[in-house]
Amino acid sequence: MEKIDRAWGYLCKITESENHFNDLVFRIRALSSTWLLASFAGIGFILTRDFDIGVTKPLLTLGISILAAFGLILLWMMDILVYQNLLAANFEEGLNIENDFPDLPQIRHKMVASQPKGSVRTRIVWFHIAMIVGALTPGFVICIFWLLNVRPNLVVLMILIFVVMTIGIGAFIYFKSIPDDRKDGNRRSTVVGSRS
């Protein structure tokens, strides 16, 4: 009985730690959404105001889009590469305790069973990719339409830059987000919601 009481105490502490990291990743994702909306507001402000600062409005919107995407990449790094891994480590330890003590509530096992293998991390990664592409798109689209009027010969180049940038950033984020043990073919659970 003493072992199960000690295991329950550990499980409670692990759950507290999981809640802490879960709150952090939730806040990062909320900040990502806010960051994207703020970039849209900044672009809207520039397009609706008359001022002269020596740079054309389309280039300013492109600059805002690129800077917003850079900020979202930093948030992705904090979320997936740092806090999501810390959350997953806590989750795995809780899962190990549940494996060793089947009389304890098997909450983590039910969580794992409710999700297809690796789907949680994949969905989170696609969220971040969509945010970054969403930040880049308005600036590039506005710049492309502006170039149609002033330098039509550069339109194809601008479209190519946009496509290469979005695919490159998306691929980098997607493949950088896959845990090393999954890259090597070992399908050990390293992600909250993945199956062993």
Q: What is the pLDDT of residue 151?
A: 93
Q: What is the pLDDT of residue 117?
A: 77
Q: Please check whether residue 52 lies inside any domain of the structure.
A: yes
Q: What is the pLDDT of residue 37?
A: 97
Q: Please check whether residue 173 lies inside any domain of the structure.
A: yes
Q: Please check whether residue 164 lies inside any domain of the structure.
A: yes
pTM assigned to the model:
0.84
Strands (E), the chain: none
Q: Please check whether residue 187 lies inside any domain of the structure.
A: no
* 193/113 Cα distance (integer angstroms): 8
Q: What is the pLDDT of residue 52?
A: 82
Range of the domain at 158: 2-181
* 55/63 Cα distance (integer angstroms): 11
Q: What is the pLDDT of residue 179?
A: 67
Q: Please check whether residue 196 lies inside any domain of the structure.
A: no
* 164/158 Cα distance (integer angstroms): 10
Q: Please check whether residue 189 lies inside any domain of the structure.
A: no
Would you say 39 and 64 are in contact if contact means Cβ atoms under 8 Å apart? Answer: yes
Q: Please check whether residue 193 lies inside any domain of the structure.
A: no
Q: What is the pLDDT of residue 176?
A: 92
Give the total number of structural domains in the chain: 1
Q: What is the pLDDT of residue 124?
A: 92
pLDDT in tens, the chain (196 residues): 788 899 999 999 999 999 999 999 999 999 999 999 999 999 999 999 988 888 899 999 999 999 999 999 999 999 999 999 999 999 999 999 999 999 999 999 999 889 887 688 889 999 999 999 999 999 999 999 999 999 999 999 999 999 999 999 999 999 998 765 554 444 444 444 433 3
Q: Please check whether residue 186 lies inside any domain of the structure.
A: no
User: What does the CA dihedral 60, 66, 69, 73 come to, rounded to 10 degrees?
Assistant: -140
* 192/112 Cα distance (integer angstroms): 7
